[in-house]
A and B are shown apart, each in its own frame.
Chain A
Amino acid sequence: MQWETVIGLEVHVQLATRSKIFSGASTAFGAEPNTQACAVDLGLPGVLPVLNEAAVAMAVQFGLGIHAEIPEVSVFDRKNYFYPDLPKGYQTSQMYQPIVGPGEVEITLEDGSTKRIRVHHAHLEEDAGKSLHEDFHGMTGIDLNRAGTPLLEIVSEPDMRSAKEAAAYLKAIHSIVTYLGISDGNMAEGSMRCDVNVSVRPAGQEAFGTRAEIKNVNSFRFVERAIAFEVERQIELIEDGGEVVQETRLYDPEADETRSMRTKEEANDYRYFPCPDLLPVVLDQAYVDHLRDNLPELPAEKRARFEGELGLSAYDAGVLSASRAMAEYFEGVKDVCGDAKLAANWVQGELSGALNREGLAIDDSPVSAVQLGELVARVKDETINGKAAKQVFQALWHHEGDSADAIIEAKGLKQVTDTGAIEAMIDQVIADSPAQVAQYRDAEPDKRGKMIGYFVGQVMKASRGTANPQQVNALLKEKLDALC
């Protein structure tokens, strides 16, 4: 039987506010346990929450970024359950009236085609603390630094049909939130995590199958792998005459499998009700308009502009707009060198290669966008040839000089275009290579083209790479053919 996979994602994005969603404590990552938890975060008797306006602004920016409805009124609710790292015994969240209404996200698939994934809503909530089970001799340690960190939970419709689509959606969300600057998007530190709802159904069937929810998947790769495993498990189960049960499962990256956490029967009744300590959030139109007017260009718009205005290929436009850092770097190079295509080639070629080799993010590149732009400008105006340019790039990478011009000067890499100088070098190479000249002369005329490479190489070597290769080629052909 042919099976179709149906996937919906709940993505939790940690918002990049300086203080927590309901208290003034810092949200910085990595502090000593419980040093960033104030009376409010500890849920001490008598404390009250006060909403952080920055978190509201960020949530609205996200909503605008996915062309969502922004309701005038949203309300915080309490989600009640007991857990040691949940200090108040409830999580303040938004159940009935979320801050962001229905919207949509465009994803790009591997074949370059695009698909729209509907977002059901996005709501604000507070994160819980962390339970630490090691180093406490059979007891559990509680670290409440993370408690109260603002989260935006983005809930998709079940619109994805493959693990690849789910990963592409997650990447698109990542790209939007980092473009907006509302999250650092750091998945390793838990700034983005997702719960994946997966079900399968016979191809052509309209009704959804029973779904399993895989909790807390925290990388693009794990999302794909968790779904792949889960889909296979569900299909096998059904084909063996079994039934999928609605349950919460956990993905174990080490075993590369999902395991049951709790079934629907064991699920909590969260007893949601409006939080009486917080007033409804009322957004006036002017506030929303102000945020809309100040929205940065988002990935989809940027991709379209790179393709349309700058004339890049769809592929290049996609790669260069994938992250805000990449796009900003590329545009920096382009603005300095004045050639979008050359800039695109250099950013995706030499630069990305070097970054990948060293495992660096583009923000940590030793070569700045301005430095690379100046280098590309010298390629464009033919001050140096491509080979020399690679040398200059390496020198910039290793901080051997501050600018391309300084390195070109210091290393004498300026391209030689003086015909006389090139002719002198050619004459010397011809004189030094009687055997090769003889072979050239004896070859059939249509084979000679290939043989000229040897002489070009020798001339370039003699010029230490600075001779203009086109000139060398043309002059060599002329002189060699004259010998025939």
Chain B
Amino acid sequence: MHDKTLTELAAGLAAGEYSSRELTQSLLARIERLDGSLNSFITVTGEQALEAADRADAARGKGEAGPLTGLPLALKDIFCTRGVKTSCGSRMLDTFTAPYDASVVEKLAAAGIVSLGKTNMDEFAMGSSNENSFYGPVKNPWDLAAVPGGSSGGSAAAVAAGLVPAAMGTDTGGSIRQPAAFCGITGLKPTYGRVSRYGMIAYASSLDQAGPMARSAADCAQLLGAIAGHDLRDSTSVARGVPDYAADLDAPLSGLKIGLPREYFGDGLSPEVEGAVREAIKVYESLGATVREVSLPHTHYAIPAYYVIAPAEASSNLSRFDGVRFGHRCEAPADLIDLYKRSRAEGFGEEVKRRILIGTHTLSEGFFDAYYKKAQQVRRLIRQDFLDAFEEVDVLMGPASPTPAFDLGANKDPVSMYLQDIYTIAVNLAGIPGISVPAGFAGGRPVGLQILGTHFAEARLLNVAHQFQQATDWHLRRPALAEESA
């Protein structure tokens, strides 16, 4: 059951081939067996999962099952889950049990989804390799020497290894798309505002967005339908109807206009990755699409702008972790300042501290205009680049990452790590949706094709991705680790 898509599992449940309890038990056993080497889970909630599975089976028995009832999934440990430890990959929240459910968690539960647990991640979603977790790095199922990408590395690895058919991730600068690419799965970052952020621990509020990670675009369509929509508890969620994302999956691509941003095929792009992406473009041409080069002239400002805006927001968002009400508190503080200093010094990891410092600096009196305001101006230009491009083409395509998954420990320098996100970060600044789909291999490690659309064009992206997956089988490849232990 471990290598099936959600769609296939849903059919199996509906046909009575197995119950949700059996499916859940089988995957829990697999997690138990395999996750020791992967470290993709921080918390496995077996007991709650079996209870939820039983409820799903009971609902099915009464004829009340919906399309997602009884299907298993994992949640990035950034989503508050009532009664369950919600750590955000940080020592700061190692002792934190969320007293409420995030909107995404609520919606998935309402759809009858069974959560198996909380996946590992870079601390507070800050990282591109999952090496910044208090709970240790996650390994890439395709090669245990490689990183799974980040920050939703646990979710990506768990799906790739067949521990769960799908998982929820979040994407602030590429944290769904890049690990999806590194692990050979499909990951969708929706339009900013499409999915409620309520209950999702904030990293950079104006960029954070939750999205599905799964084995196929069709599965992502199912999950996006379940989590999308306006939420009165999140003012930035958009009041706009949720279409049936599966409805147009089969629409033909003849006449599709694809733009290749010149800036996404330049220096620093691995030739093997470029080769795989160009092959994928050829597949699209064979499906009737036309291809032209476009330009996103402000692309090279994206990383600097991001590393002003995101840390600025983070420095403020993470101020609530002060040792006073919840989370880590140092032993025997001498006074208030000591309490603050030691609780935060002990509770936060190095990368989180670095970004808090950067953000605090850029917001400081005398620097605000030069950094934060300027970065916001750049952000508007970047957004305009995309809007201009979408006047000419329907979708943009390019690599999700300049290289395939790199080795654990290979990127010690923070700036070289930041450069990993060169193709994904501008998308968050612009607020548009993006999807990464498996498109081949480079040196035995998966390559992701990134497809971008204009705001709220998720249905189109899913259609374009699905058609590729009808024509290719990259998304069906499984790592040896997953196969051997079947």
Contacts and interface: CB of A to CB of B under 8 A. Distances in A.
Contacts of B315: 80, 271
Interface in A76-91: 78, 80, 82, 84, 87-90
Contacts of A50: 232-235
A278 interface: yes
Contact of B325 (A42, A90, A272): A42
Contacts of A48: 197-198, 233-236
B282 interface: no
Contacts of B100: 39, 44
B316 A273 contact: yes
B13 to A, nearest CB: 31
What is the interface residue range for chain A against chain B? 20 to 34
Contacts of A42: 325
Interface string A3-47: 000000000000000000000000000000000000100111111
Contacts of B88: 45
B456 interface: no
A89 B235 contact: no
Interface string B78-114: 0110000010100001001011101000000000000
A87 B80 contact: no
Nearest to B360: A271
A44 B235 contact: no
Nearest to B92: A45
A46 B336 contact: no
Contacts of B322: 82, 84, 89
A42 B98 CA distance: 13
A51 interface: yes
A278 B318 CA distance: 17
Contacts of A51: 235
B316 A39 contact: no
B479 interface: no
Interface of B is mostly: loop
Contact of A277 (B235, B312, B340): B235
B176 to A, nearest CB: 18
A42 B316 CA distance: 16
Interface of A is mostly: loop
Given A45-B86, A273-B363, A80 B319 contact: yes
B327 to A, nearest CB: 8
A90 B236 contact: no
B197 A273 contact: no
Interface string B283-312: 000000000000000000000000000001
Interface string A140-162: 00100000000000000000000
Interface stretch (B28-36, B200-208, B399-407, B462-470): B200-208
A276 interface: yes
A88 B198 contact: no
A277 B363 contact: no
A47 B319 contact: no
Contact of B99 (A39, A80, A84): A39
Given A46-B199, A80-B319, A88-B319, A277 B232 contact: no
A277 B205 contact: yes
B267 interface: no
B364 A88 contact: no
Contacts of B102: 46
B368 A273 contact: yes
A271 B315 CA distance: 10
A50 B99 CA distance: 19
Interface in B413-436: none
Contacts of B200: 46
A169 to B, nearest CB: 30
A78 B313 CA distance: 10
A269 interface: yes
Interface in A257-296: 269, 271-273, 276-279
A49 interface: yes
CB-CB nearest 7 A-B residue pairs:
A89-B319, A271-B363, A276-B205, A276-B206, A46-B199, A43-B320, A45-B201
8 contacts: A43-B325, A44-B99, A45-B326, A46-B199, A89-B318, A271-B316, A271-B364, A271-B365
Given A47-B198, A271-B368, A276-B313, 7 more contacts: A48-B234, A78-B316, A80-B316, A80-B363, A82-B322, A84-B336, A142-B324
Interface of B: 79-80, 86, 88, 93, 96, 98-100, 102, 197-202, 204-206, 232-236, 312-313, 315-316, 318-322, 324-326, 336, 340, 360, 363-365, 368, 372
